[in-house]
């Protein structure tokens, strides 16, 4: 094929995140939903089989699950919440596991889509975290006390309260869930786009553009996409960690107010 | 303060850095937004600028109050 006849390259964009229903027109089940279902099964199966025949000297699978649990317990729950943290470890472990599975699906062959790049999934998880930390705070400090401690922190001159109270309120009630959602969604969205661009661009250069320039630039692009895939894996785990850590911080903050 | 409580606070400190950035964003958004509304109402632009600066200042002050004194 000569270069002049080659089809034009369409750079990947938001349209690449729209999927048709898997089972044909009129059904609702799309690829992101499939990734969610598979991710849920994977996380469930991992912990089920790890705990089913738990022994004092753990096998490989049990050791992996225990390390995962221990990491969330010690590095997230205890760090951000303190001694009361153990109560919230089950939720945090589930959240972290679910997020890792749905993020890492972006670099798993065949799936190759981080389900968390669809805003509905981070939004739902942020809503659950939002309900939990507000509920915990209201139960600990009372409804009035929770909002009073939130909006009128001690150690601040009274004259500044009109300036700070709306800021504190909106930052806790609106911006916390919003930033949780957007940070995760667009990290996954942008990462997926970059991978699509380097892989599809490299493929196009080699198979369609051809010539010395096409082969050289295409090879570089494809090699770079391999490096980026590992980098994406790191980002995906980091973002799952950040989401979980912030949830723990919000719970910790709701449990204690500064004296 | 018991040793355990002190340990809790110390370990929570580095985690709090993540929350501080959100506080600054909301400060700019809240008072910048109010400034923008006032500017729309009075048909000028000075209040947007004022709002953004006040919001940033207020947020930085809050970060300092919450996490800076210890």
Q: What is the dihedral of CA A32, A126, A88, A34, to 10 degrees?
A: -10
Q: Does A164 touch chain B (CB under 8 A)?
A: yes
Task: Report which of residues A86 and B18 the model is more confident about.
Answer: A86
Residues 6+ positions from A39 with CB-CB distance below 8 Å: A98, A101, A102, A105, A115
Q: Please give the model's pTM, rounded to 2 decimal places.
A: 0.86
pLDDT at A247: 94
Nearest chain A residue (CA) to B67 = A258
**Domains in chain A, number:** 1
The conformation of residue A108, written as its DSSP 8-state character, comes to S
Cβ-defined contacts of A16-22 (< 8 Å, 24+): A16/A192, A16/A193, A16/A196, A17/A117, A17/A118, A17/A189, A17/A192
CA B54 – CA B50 distance, rounded (Å):
6
The conformation of residue A109, written as its DSSP 8-state character, comes to T
pLDDT tens digit at each of 259 positions of chain A? 445 555 788 888 888 888 888 888 878 889 999 999 999 999 999 999 998 888 888 888 999 999 999 999 998 998 888 888 899 999 999 999 999 999 999 999 888 899 999 999 999 999 999 999 999 999 999 999 999 888 888 778 888 888 888 888 988 899 899 989 999 999 999 999 999 999 999 999 999 888 888 899 999 999 999 999 999 999 999 999 999 999 998 998 898 865 4
Residues of the domain holding A54? 3-255
Residues from chain B that touch A156, judged by Cβ atoms under 8 A, are 65
Tell me the nearest-neighbour CA distance from A23 into chain B, angstroms.
42
Tell me the nearest-neighbour CA distance from A175 into chain B, angstroms.
6
Q: Does B37 touch chain A (CB under 8 A)?
A: no
CA angle A111, A113, A114 (to 5 degrees): 125
Q: How far is CA A84 from CA A77, A79, A159, B10, in A?
A: 8, 10, 35, 15
Question: Which residue, among A77, A80, A239, would best test binding to B if mutated, counting the most B CBs under 10 Å from its CB?
Answer: A80
Nearest chain A residue (CA) to B15 = A80
CB–CB contact B30 A171 (8 Å): yes
Q: Is this prediction's ipTM beyond 0.85?
A: no
Nearest chain B residue (CA) to A178 = B22
Tell me the nearest-neighbour CA distance from A209 into chain B, angstroms.
45
């Amino acid at each position: 094929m000569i270069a002049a006849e080659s089809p034009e390259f369409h750079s990947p964009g938001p349209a690449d995140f729209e999927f048709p229903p898997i089972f044909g027109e009129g059904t609702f089940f799309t690829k992101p939903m499939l990734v969610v279902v598979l991710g849920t099964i994977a996380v469930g199966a991992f912990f089920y089989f790890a705990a089913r025949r738990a022994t004092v000297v753990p096998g490989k699978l049990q050791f992996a699950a225990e390390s995962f649990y221990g990491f969330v317990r010690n590095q997230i729950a205890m760090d951000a919440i303190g001694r009361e943290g153990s109560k919230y470890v089950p939720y945090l472990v589930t959240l972290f596991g679910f997020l890792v599975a749905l993020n890492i699906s972006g670099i798993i062959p065949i799936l190759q889509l981080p389900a968390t790049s669809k805003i509905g999934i981070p939004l739902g998880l942020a809503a659950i975290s939002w309900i939990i930390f507000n509920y915990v705070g209201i139960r600990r400090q009372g409804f009035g006390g929770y909002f009073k401690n939130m909006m009128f922190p001690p150690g601040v001159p009274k004259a500044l309260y009109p300036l700070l109270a709306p800021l504190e309120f909106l930052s806790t009630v609106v911006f916390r869930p919003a930033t949780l959602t957007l940070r995760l969604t667009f990290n996954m969205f942008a990462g997926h786009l970059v991978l699509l661009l380097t892989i599809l661009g490299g493929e196009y250069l080699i198979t369609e553009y051809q010539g010395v320039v096409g082969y050289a630039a295409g090879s570089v692009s494809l090699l770079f996409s391999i490096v980026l895939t590992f980098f994406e894996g790191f980002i995906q785990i980091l973002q799952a960690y950040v989401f979980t850590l912030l949830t723990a911080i919000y719970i910790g903050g709701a449990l204690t107010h500064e004296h | 303060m018991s040793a355990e409580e002190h340990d809790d606070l110390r370990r929570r400190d580095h985690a709090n850095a993540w929350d501080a950035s959100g506080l600054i964003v909301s400060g700019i958004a809240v008072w910048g937004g109010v400034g923008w509304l006032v500017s729309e109402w009075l048909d000028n632009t000075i209040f947007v600028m004022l709002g953004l600066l006040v919001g940033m200042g207020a947020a930085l002050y809050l970060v300092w109050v919450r996490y800076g004194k210890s």
